[in-house]
Amino acid sequence: MSSQRSKAELFRKLHHGKHILILPNAWDAVSARIFEETGFPAIATSSAAMMVSLGHPDGEFVDRKELASAVLRIARIIGVPLSADIVGGFGRTASEVKRTVHDVLKAGAVGINIEDFVHGTGKLLPLEKQTERIKAAIEAGGEAGVPLVVNGRTDALRYAKGDDDARFEEAVRRAVAYRDAGADCVYPMGLTDAYSISKFVDALDCPVNVMIRKELPPIDELERLGVARVSFGPSGAYVALSHLKIAATEVLEIGTYETLTRNVMTFDELNSLGRPRSRHR
């Protein structure tokens, strides 16, 4: 538990460093190890990529036990802090969210990402209910002796009522409330242009997370805009699985193996990804 506390403290500190925290999102143990070997100081899970790897679409189609098991397989093989995307908390009530957080903390996570909308309906949860859920998550961390790092995501830019300006204002209102409820970082899903990012950061007095998309400014500009954290989202899975599909199609339709054999890791390198590095044992 001492090690888990120190990882949580390190993860929180990374949100306040001199440089932006670049946070890759893994979907299984191997992708997490690749990110760790590359040199990232912390790793998060991607809900969409992880759920698909488990045979489900994005959302809460697995139970808490399966979610925690997937988190455990990642946490036990890496040495850096791990944040778990718990989607909407696997429950509407604060007590249900607390149960989910206890499970992922027991699995080895030190942070969470929690959303404020319902998959399938696209409806935002009432603000008061979401702040209660965030407070419950933090309480779960306290009960487990882990200073949980909470990333409060809002999908108001996509699902709030009104025009673009109204949705932006609602995103700010919700982010402020999540910050005041104890969230360490806020995540306005869908924020990509420099002007809006700058305006959002100025409206918040806490770390802001954005997700990599084609329209997103490069890392150095995000730093200048004051962004504290940029996450991969499902992008890592997109590129890995797209490359695999291209390689498989080449073999099946052309009969050659160039994509499968060019610039790829060896068997020994692959096999090593299934073992924790010696310094983490």
CATH at residue 198? 3.20.20.60
Establish if 243 belongs to a structural domain.
no
Average pLDDT over residues 70-78: 97
Establish if 152 belongs to a structural domain.
yes
* pLDDT value of residue 278: 54
Establish if 247 belongs to a structural domain.
no
Establish if 148 belongs to a structural domain.
yes
For the chain, give percent helix, strand, coil, nearest 5: 50, 15, 35
Average pLDDT over residues 198-212: 97
pLDDT in tens, 104-147: 999 999 999 999 999 878 899 999 999 999 999 999 999 999 99
Domain enclosing residue 19, as ranges: 2-233
**Domain count of the fold of the chain:** 1
123-124 and 117-118 beta bridge pairing:
antiparallel
The C-alpha angle with vertex 78 and arms to 238 and 82, in degrees rounded to 5, equals 70
Establish if 133 belongs to a structural domain.
yes
How many helices (H) and strands (E) would you count in the chain?
Answer: 13, 11
pLDDT level of residue 277 (50, 70, 90 thresholds): low
Nearest Cα to Cα of residue 210 among 235, 236, 184, 192: 192
Nearest Cα to Cα of residue 232 among 73, 29, 26: 26
* pLDDT value of residue 279: 46
Adjacent-strand bridge partners of 43: 82
DSSP run (H or E) holding 209? strand 209-211
- 281 pLDDT exceeds 70? no
Instruction: Tell the residue number behind the tokens 């490359």, with chain if given.
Output: 243
* Residue 119 identity: H
What count of Cα atoms within 13 Å lies in the side-chain half-sphere of residue 20? 21
Establish if 259 belongs to a structural domain.
no
Nearest Cα to Cα of residue 134 among 182, 84, 189: 182
Helix axes 127-144, 164-180, angle to 10 degrees: 30
* pLDDT value of residue 31: 98
Q: What is the 3-state secondary structure (H, E, C) of 155-193?
A: CHHHHCCCCHHHHHHHHHHHHHHHHHCCCCEEEECCCCC
Establish if 13 belongs to a structural domain.
yes
Least confident of 8-12, 67-71, 184-188, 265-269: 265-269
- 21 pLDDT exceeds 50? yes
The C-alpha angle with vertex 205 and arms to 203 and 211, in degrees rounded to 5, equals 75
Tokens of 193: 């242009």
Q: Indicate the SS3 state at residue 224.
A: helix
Least confident of 1-5, 114-118, 163-167: 1-5
Tokens of 206: 């806490």
Give strand ranges (E) for the chain: 21-23, 25-26, 43-45, 82-85, 111-114, 117-118, 123-124, 149-154, 185-188, 209-211, 229-231
Establish if 279 belongs to a structural domain.
no
- Compute the mean pLDDT over every residue in the chain, rounded to the nearest whole number: 95
* pLDDT value of residue 247: 97
